[in-house]
Chain A
Amino acid sequence: RKEVEQDPGPFNVPEGATVAFNCTYSNSASQSFFWYRQDCRKEPKLLMSVYSSGNEDGRFTAQLNRASQYISLLIRDSKLSDSATYLCVVVNTGGFKTIFGAGTRLFVKA
């Protein structure tokens, strides 16, 4: 079993749609969680952190469920510019062990 698993997609949605991605992780001792965004042929960039209480940044909402060991990302009112691959990231061992999911591809169409 992979340490971090994501649905690879692709998710094809129209502009204005709401879309949600899930990610599961296997290590119950994992400490920190993030969502990164990667555009085609570019480096990943931090989108947002994920906290147990849930957090929101504009149209993006991230949730962490430690009991079930998954994190989620919700995108509301999708824009064409949201088209990218979204990487789930889990950090263990005091910040030195970072594990990236394979990513979920999102295509937003006009």
Chain B
Amino acid sequence: DGGITQSPKYLFRKEGQNVTLSCEQNLNHDAMYWYRQDPGQGLRLIYYSQIVNDFQKGDIAEGYSVSREKKESFPLTVTSAQKNPTAFYLCASSNPMAANYGYTFGSGTRLTVV
């Protein structure tokens, strides 16, 4: 079945450490996104990519980096510059040409700083 896979489900980061969150999709979607959700808050866009080898900053890109070397993959690195990284991270993909845009989320990664 087609879908989006995020890993790991839970991740613990030490102060000053970089960590990378994985996001893989087999939906053949061109567009992929990373969101951050804090308790009781809405989704905030970190980065998005409309096509391979291209990506754009979202509303809260500081302290994060991404790459889009393959259509299927859009990993997110949380760098040590991100001072408050504890949150729920959601990856999504979409096909802007499809009905309802086919917007689909992965099951998320819960990151905690220890």
| Residues of A near any B CB (own CB < 8 A) | 8, 32, 34, 41-46, 49, 87, 89, 91, 94-96, 98, 100-103
Contact = CB atoms under 8 A, between A and B. Distances in A.
Interface string B31-72: 101010000111101001010000000000000000000000
B41 A96 contact: no
29 contacts: A32-B100, A42-B107, A43-B90, A43-B105, A43-B107, A43-B108, A44-B90, A45-B105, A46-B100, A46-B103, A49-B100, A89-B103, A91-B101, A95-B31, A95-B94, A95-B101, A96-B31, A96-B48, A96-B50, A96-B96, A98-B45, A98-B101, A100-B35, A100-B42, A100-B43, A101-B42, A102-B40, A102-B41, A103-B42
A103 B107 CA distance: 18
A34 B41 CA distance: 18
Nearest to B90: A43
Contacts of A43: 90, 105-108
B90 A34 contact: no
Interface of B: 31, 33, 35, 40-43, 45, 48, 50, 88, 90, 94, 96-97, 100-101, 103, 105-108, 110
A101 B94 CA distance: 18
A25 B109 CA distance: 29
Given A43-B106, A102-B41, 9 more contacts: A32-B100, A42-B107, A44-B43, A87-B43, A94-B96, A95-B97, A98-B33, A98-B94, A100-B42
B96 A44 contact: no
B108 A42 contact: yes
B24 to A, nearest CB: 15
